[in-house]
Structure 1
Amino acid sequence: MTWEELLADSLDMSDEVHCFREEDKPAFRKSKAQMARFYQRMIDIENNKIKQIFRPRVLSDTPEQHLTAEEMEAELAGKKVCSQAHHFANLAINHYNNIEENIVKIELCTVLLSNCFHEICGSTYAHVNFTARAQNDDQAKKSLYFAELKLNPDLLAKRMERFAELSLDPNIVGCADDIEPMCVVSIHNLQGSCFGGCHEINRRIDYVMTRNQDYERCHSCSDRIKHPYGTEFVAGHDSSKIPYYTAG
């Protein structure tokens, strides 16, 4: 069928007789009319080919921001936070407090946002925002934090094995939850500055990248999730966004 014949077919309403009900015909005619308009825009009938019609890419960026913990909390007030985000934030807090060099230990105030995603290599990562302050000090100032976590496949396999063992023999001492497969890669205080993710925009990139890797921003997260400068975290740099659209 030529493109001209496709257009003629879309303008032909005679096959509305195949509608089971009379009330279905208006919707059928509307659908056919929409298809006809589509073909009229796309088809060069004289040359029997598709016109090359492209929507121009609008380039933008996520600017450097200076946000307080209170501003982020207010922006997300009333939003439901998933249990996964709480889990990631608590892992990050525990990781931070277990580092000997961190003399001032912190406690969790508010869990804000998280995103779990896959890289093209198959590795699974997570980014999470939360607020925290110094432990046992109600007067301490809150700070906004970012943490990156990575799934350890070996630990996940051990956890699944433990679940299987416990299901087969209830007398086994232990708990599968003792094996945590998500490991904290880094945690950052965003008190100085932060950058939103670029997942929903086409970022203007003015330097030559290697394999689409933009090491200035995160392309897996939306602008709502705040990050340090891109060189401070490992994952989310694929500017093609292909692995992030297919993440489960």
Structure 2
Amino acid sequence: MELFGEIAWTFYRSLSYYEEFNGNLSSAVGFSGGVRKKIGNTGLILWGAYLPPNLVNPHSQELPEGSNNLAGGLFGVNYTKGRKRFNNWIYAYKELHNEDYPGHEEAGVSIALRAENPIGERFVFKLKQGFEIIDNHYYAPKEVSFKIPSKASIDYFFRKDDYITISVENRAGGQIGGKLHNGTGVQAGLVIKEEGYTSSIQLMGYTTDVNRFAYLYPCPVFN
């Protein structure tokens, strides 16, 4: 069993559109940590964190001290055997204070599954499936919302670490009881890995509803 953790501290002079906040000194401390253990080919992890907003964003000093702080925790299970990999985790978080809607702090729970399974010597099938439910999302206050991201891909390895990948992705979501919004994309890419660096080129086409819970955006093909 292994314990791990880290503490981060920032200290800076802020810049703000508001004169009363401009030039103020800001300081914040955040931390995360947990425990992990490997049993055979299976790994377990239990993780938690407290992240003040002004740990990385000086503009958050414009809010009362403690505003929009997040506390969260994660429990994950992963299994690896040869080229087979399965990662599953549950993550939960809660906003400790919401300045705009007091008593309606954002909170969410998400479940994620990632699986990789080889097909023959040169192909690998990858699946990413998630589900998240959010109460008082920033873009949907006083509502219960959900997101369902799905992605499937096939990688063809023409050399040990170099491959061509083709994937199909869909992101659905919206408010509970409201209209279901969707965004669907197809992506193809080439990944070359050399000692010290990774390079890639990719093409992506997509169609999406104009909605925060459905939009798609490019991400590295080797991610």
Q: Which one has the largest radius of gyration? A: 1
Richer in strand (by share): 2
Q: Give the TM-score of the pair, scaled to structure 1.
A: 0.23
Q: Give the TM-score of the pair, scaled to structure 2.
A: 0.24
Richer in helix (by share): 1
Q: Which one scores higher on RCO, CA 8 angstroms, separation ≥ 6?
A: 1
